Structure 1
């Protein structure tokens, strides 16, 4: 009896194993490196002029291309061209033996080392000993040390001398996401390149190109969502795109925005805009219902708060007149512009602070959805409170305290009624005087001749010189103090006397009246050279 077993036909290897998009579309030349034009130009100039550093430090967030750039530099320095006669070039041919072997990760003169798993001084001594040996077949022996900040202090100290004066045939390429943890002594021995976060619009364009090559249909909005979720990282974005394409294949369609939102647990941008509008309208029940709807769809409450923060930021940029995000739809831009016209900067800053506090609380809360609801309620109720600065001005002026403007910036329906406004022109100037006044107050006292005063409307005479911008300044100041929009106009008419002229006339009348009192007349008869100074009508009576 045989001890062998018939296991059937052995499994046949597939012709090609699937490669994830992040590996399949790794840059093979500097032209394919996205968003790092400044670094590529510097390297090109250095290679062209023969001014190659002995050590490079590449730093940046995950997935921006640090290791890929290091491999491209290795290819650029070791490329010999299709004819075998070429030298270092910023455009490696990609077909010579060094280029092919480096791209395939099998070149024995290009050593990649993960510092996270080789942190000790013995690991670094092995590198130093091997660095003394000449390259086997390449022009340069290149050491690529990834996450170099993970090396121990002793390992860094062991590397320092070799890093400062390496053999002529050795180049060091160090990569890290946490450059602040790299000792200054190491930084000073390297030529440093800070790889930038890749802009979302460039990522979206790259993902569209990859989708086309993969034969997958993808909506522009879906690609924009993936680009935003990637947070500047091409690798992260390609991984998400890979998952989205697989998800679309299961559903039998292309990559759609709703599918990407569901996959990533993102809230719908239209739903966020609707929720933001409910908050501005102080609709507490509606806002809570909208949040619960998103929660029931599987959206994290913290993601909803983050979406609201992004909305406040977008509205603020729109108010500043900045360029619109190319990833925004026309509907989004129109909504943001509308809110930018109605929301004041103080209201936007207050919304930001309230939502930011809520976002942090939800992240720490044991009951996230409840914490999210309380955060939205705080926003709703805070919008009905007066602005602290406005409240202080109203208290100082003695005017009735008006309700705060709605979050949208429009005056609330409970603003000060017309009959509560300053009754006379003098009262209006007194209100301004009690709240600062400045140069505006001096013009109102000395030169302003009221033609008509019917609050909240005022017409001033132009027969006395007034600053051209005084009506606009006065209207804005009065609106701040009263919560009511004022209409200030000018007219070529005589108008009433200025307040300074009125006070002077009143003083002269009071002086004349005092001079006619018996006791004062008797005093002047007894002392003809006497002068009336600092008179007080009540004291003289």
Structure 2
């Protein structure tokens, strides 16, 4: 339910006001709270004070007004009681929606912070409601009340008259005294997901008779950061921006217009820039930064886009979600490709370097120049060897040229591949050589390798393995290789364990020996003879 469209000549109402939720069904993203309130109303277990908290624009004040409606709705027939589905047509519902109900008092604590303002409430609560079932006090930004005002309210808040309900809203719940919090039923309103916001904005543009690209709505939803009000304000601006382009009636909001309006960089450009960073192309990266600067893109937006890219690649590598509706097919393929090539160590290093660059650009007197320097630092510092590798080079007396050569790799790993065992078999041999026989024996009997790509090992267990056993094996490998390994249970084309390979080799050799004509003749001459391994024969001789 929304307000009726404005008539010709009437004042324009911004979308954030026009599409303010009028029922709990229209309150998006707060299902848990609505269910709790509905159960409380149906069972007659209504608290005397409610506290709504959350970031801006998630519906705190709207929820307070909806609760006031729910408590005072009398239905179209005038006989109904409190309900989670207020009718919206009875006089209390209409009066509350229009802000003119005498028994629903809204107060902004930001402009009424003193104890005298609270004393007026304390005096008024003694009198019954004039025409409603409950007298409701809605206090917005309640955290801004003074300490004396809170103290004056405490006693009334703890034992209010039966006909009075208090509804508090705040964005900074940590500033509300614990003595007040303990007297309220608290609801933490969640940030609204980008998917739900985009769907809501799609409904709004249909109602407004405006066309909009799905990607444009996704960009607006992401820029809103969980706030429906912020998103509607941006959408309002985007529609106006589309109209100023000459579209007029039936304007079309495009992703390109939204990016230009918000100063966002094209996601494809961010991916190209990220690729240049990975290959160490300093000139190409700086040229792209200049190109984006000429297009009006803020340097901070570029750094943020690069951080989002690193985050997306890392989540994919960790097995996280890769179904962001705002991502194109090309972007998903690019992120998946980087996730398969980059290890966790270089990704974490890239994140730290870009995060530091973002902080510097945010407070720099020359943001563009600071962004250039941040990218150059990423290109030159991200490829340096891991601290553990540096320690190994120093301990082994490696020449400086080796360290410099290690630093030239555009996509670093926790340690250069040449210093790690080249094969799975070589890794196990290294464990035997470094007196890690028990661990080596476990690996030989339990691990069926699927993918060996130092410092990563994907495997299938030959028998069930506890996580602590896997952790113990990984710790031993880290110790002997001085690296940071990733051991992952996986499914795929697994090779046999080393013990299974030895057994298969022995069986093949036995079959080959027994198939030889001389051996067949010997076995025929001595039917009771048995083919035994050489070590078993030695043991038999000693015992004899």
Flag whether TM exceeds 0.5 (same fold): yes
Deviation at 1:288, TM superposition (A): 1.0
1:274 paired residue among 272, 275, 278: 272
- Residue 403 of structure 1 aligns with which residue? 406
Q: In 2 relative to 1, CA 119–421 (structure 1 residues): closer, same or farther, beyond 3 Å?
A: closer
Deviation at 1:390, TM superposition (A): 2.4
Q: Is 1:57 matched up with 2:51?
A: yes
CA distance in 1 between partners of 2:189 and 2:474 (Å): 48
Secondary structure in structure 1 of the residue aligned to 2:105? strand
Do the aligned partners of 2:345 and 2:414 also contact (CA within 8 Å) in 1? no
- Residue 17 of structure 2 aligns with which residue? 23
CA distance in 2 between partners of 1:178 and 1:417 (Å): 53
Do the aligned partners of 1:121 and 1:152 also contact (CA within 8 Å) in 2? yes
Deviation at 1:329, TM superposition (A): 1.7
Q: How does 1:254-403 map to 2 (within 5 A)?
A: 254-324=252-322, 325-397=324-396, 401=403, 403=406
Deviation at 1:16, TM superposition (A): 2.5
Deviation at 1:383, TM superposition (A): 2.7
Q: How does 1:181-260 map to 2 (within 5 A)?
A: 181-251=175-245, 252=247, 253-260=251-258
Q: Is 1:179 matched up with 2:173?
A: yes
Deviation at 1:261, TM superposition (A): 0.7
Q: Deviations over 1:469-513 (max 9, x none)?
A: 9xx989x87996799xxx99866379xxxxxxxxxxxxxxxxxxx
Deviation at 1:133, TM superposition (A): 1.5
Q: Deviations over 1:100-149 (max 9, x none)?
A: 01111111111110000000000111111112121111111100000000
CA distance in 1 between partners of 2:480 and 2:336 (Å): 23
Secondary structure in structure 2 of the residue aligned to 1:403? helix
Do the aligned partners of 2:103 and 2:135 also contact (CA within 8 Å) in 1? yes
Give the structure-2-normalised TM-score.
Answer: 0.76
CA distance in 2 between partners of 1:345 and 1:56 (Å): 45
Deviation at 1:407, TM superposition (A): 4.9
Q: In 2 relative to 1, CA 411–145 (structure 1 residues): closer, same or farther, beyond 3 Å?
A: closer
Do the aligned partners of 1:275 and 1:290 also contact (CA within 8 Å) in 2? yes
Q: In 2 relative to 1, CA 123–407 (structure 1 residues): closer, same or farther, beyond 3 Å?
A: farther
CA distance in 2 between partners of 1:83 and 1:477 (Å): 75
Do the aligned partners of 1:30 and 1:72 also contact (CA within 8 Å) in 2? yes
Secondary structure in structure 1 of the residue aligned to 2:362? helix
Secondary structure in structure 2 of the residue aligned to 1:111? strand
CA distance in 1 between partners of 2:474 and 2:111 (Å): 67
Q: Deviations over 1:397-447 (max 9, x none)?
A: 5565561584545799x96599x999xx99x849963xxx63478659x99
Do the aligned partners of 2:280 and 2:380 also contact (CA within 8 Å) in 1? yes
CA distance in 2 between partners of 1:377 and 1:300 (Å): 18
Q: In 2 relative to 1, CA 91–421 (structure 1 residues): closer, same or farther, beyond 3 Å?
A: closer
Q: Deviations over 1:81-117 (max 9, x none)?
A: 0000010000000000000011111111111100000
CA distance in 1 between partners of 2:136 and 2:187 (Å): 17
RMSD over aligned CA atoms reads: 3.4
Do the aligned partners of 2:106 and 2:139 also contact (CA within 8 Å) in 1? yes
Secondary structure in structure 2 of the residue aligned to 1:347? helix
Do the aligned partners of 1:280 and 1:406 also contact (CA within 8 Å) in 2? no
Deviation at 1:387, TM superposition (A): 1.3
CA distance in 2 between partners of 1:259 and 1:135 (Å): 52
Secondary structure in structure 1 of the residue aligned to 2:45? coil
- Residue 152 of structure 1 aligns with which residue? 146
Secondary structure in structure 2 of the residue aligned to 1:145? strand
Do the aligned partners of 1:112 and 1:144 also contact (CA within 8 Å) in 2? yes
1:89 paired residue among 74, 83, 89: 83
Structure 1 window deviating more from structure 2 (128-137 vs 335-344): it is 128-137
Aligned residue-pair number: 449
Select the structure of larger CA radius of gyration.
1
Do the aligned partners of 2:215 and 2:326 also contact (CA within 8 Å) in 1? yes
CA distance in 2 between partners of 1:345 and 1:432 (Å): 28
Gapped regions of structure 2 (runs ≥ 5): 1-6, 446-453, 455-464, 485-494, 510-544
CA distance in 1 between partners of 2:388 and 2:100 (Å): 68
CA distance in 2 between partners of 1:279 and 1:34 (Å): 40
Do the aligned partners of 1:276 and 1:308 also contact (CA within 8 Å) in 2? yes
Gapped regions of structure 1 (runs ≥ 5): 1-12, 448-455, 457-466, 495-541
Do the aligned partners of 1:110 and 1:142 also contact (CA within 8 Å) in 2? yes
Do the aligned partners of 1:47 and 1:88 also contact (CA within 8 Å) in 2? yes
Deviation at 1:167, TM superposition (A): 1.1
